[in-house]
Structure 1
């Protein structure tokens, strides 16, 4: 068993039932220390089709998860005696969508799908299931708006598009205080740990 696999199994157990799931663990050398980079995301409550937007992890949830992970690593000898720096983050919008759970967590977001043997298509995810997803494609020139369903197997690459303002959320953003709703897509908490 590799060190990364051992760390992943340890952290999977520590986060079980917390509402947070482990996406990735990478341990890399950095001089006399190591960097332990942990990517976490919100656990999906629904199984099958997801049609509602899944809320991103908040900064408070990332901080609490960082404390949990740090405590578990400190109590374990999985990393040995060498000091390490812990970085806990949630996936950013730059991460390609590669698994059904990635699509399910991004319902409501605008994506570009590179399709096998077809032109890329841009649309908003309205439903994501275990085998396929449905996107709402806006009208372009003489082509009317439409819904398209694509099997994950037919998607070569999928990327979330960054939107600075959306028409359907503009009214709620105008009345909400931006300080009350931090965007945690690229939330990050770090800390140095000495074993």
Structure 2
């Protein structure tokens, strides 16, 4: 995607996404045979409902039809929310992941799997699970130390069951 097209798409889409109280996370334009594919990823602090994606897709489609930003060729529009195991790249992603288990790859190459307890401007307060019956330990990691981070899926998280009981 050319920088000009990227900038034009972002300028066109950001107000539409913001009007739904969502964050525009990613815009990706690719080819699938003769058709173009426009993938738009949106998110919010409360997640994104399927109906909201459908409404936003209709709104975006109408706006794109009025403009020439996608050119004259056919294209497919996909509007979705990020997956459960999405990479954490922005400060707001870490805030949204508070309470969740995350896998962090540090700049030195070490990997840490820990629960995010708190997020501030400088980094994360983590709880590293204990191994073989040991108690969890606290750890502080600065954003400058993080090379990659991703939320880990949890299928049997204990505190979720306690909330339901």
Q: TM-score range by the shorter chain?
A: 0.7 to 0.9
Aligned to 1:97: 88
5 Å matches for 1:1-80? 1-42=3-44, 54-80=45-71
- C-alpha separation between the residues in 2 aligned to 1:71 and 1:126? 42
Q: Deviations over 1:21-78 (max 9, x none)?
A: 1111111122332111111111xxxxxxxxxxx4321112222222222222122221
1:71 and 1:157 map into 2 onto residues whose CA distance is: 37
**TM-superposed deviation, 1:143:** 5.0
State the alpha-carbon separation in 2 of the partners of residues 116 and 68 from structure 1: 41
Give 1:116 shift.
2.7
Where in structure 2 are the equivalents of 1:114-133 lying within 5 Å?
114-117=105-108, 119-133=110-124
* Mapped partners of 1:118, 1:21: distance in 2: 31
Question: When the two structures are aligned, how many residues end up with a matched partner?
Answer: 163
User: What does 1:140-179 align with in structure 2 at a 5 Å threshold?
Assistant: 140-141=131-132, 144-172=135-163
CA offset at residue 127 of structure 1?
A: 1.3
CA distance in 1, matches of 2:24, 2:127: 30
Segments of structure 2 that go 5 or more residues without pairing to the other structure are none
Bigger mean CA offset, 87-96 vs 159-168: 87-96
CA–CA distance in structure 2, aligned partners of residues 142 and 79 of structure 1: 57
Bigger helix fraction: 2
Measured on the aligned residues, the alpha-carbon RMSD in Å equals 2.0
Which residue in the other structure is 1:50 paired with? none
Q: Which has the higher contact order (CA 8 A, sep 6+)?
A: 1
* Structure 1 unaligned regions, length at least 5: 43-53, 176-195
Query: Residue 111 of structure 1 aligns with which residue?
Result: 102
- Cα contact 2:17–2:42 (8 A) shared by 1: no
